[in-house]
Amino acid sequence: MKVNVQAPNFAVKEPLLDFIEKRLQKLEQFYDKIVAADVFLKIQKTSEKENKITEILLSVPGSDLICKKESKTFEAAVDECVQSLQRQLKKRKQKQRVFA
């Protein structure tokens, strides 16, 4: 799976990139036909502590899956997104088994 990370207005450090890639690789256990993952990291300018937004777009055959989470850190937001995408992939796989 190809992972593409985009972060407008700030530079992403290597440890965060490694963390994101490692988490996304785990998704291949649930669905092996993932083509690519586009990760968008944004910082919202508010007084709230939960101002880090992570958006993940998974490209899979048929249609794309998307998840958007907001948290105090990018790591926490990525974890939440990955958990949500796991559930989406499991549902997708079950639907394929029913129709196959």
**Rounded distance between C-alpha atoms, residue 69 and residue 42, angstroms:** 11
More confident residue, 7 or 47: 7
Hey, how many other C-beta atoms are within 10 angstroms of the C-beta on 32? 9
CA angle 28, 41, 21 (to 5 degrees): 30
Given pLDDT bands bounded at 50, 70 and 90, which one contains residue 45? confident
What's the number of domains the chain is made of? 1
Q: Does the global pTM surpass 0.85?
A: yes
Q: Which CATH number covers residue 79?
A: 3.30.160.100
Task: Give me the domain span that covers residue 53.
Answer: 2-99
- The answer to whether 20 and 7 are in contact (CB under 8 A) is no
- The answer to whether 34 and 25 are in contact (CB under 8 A) is no
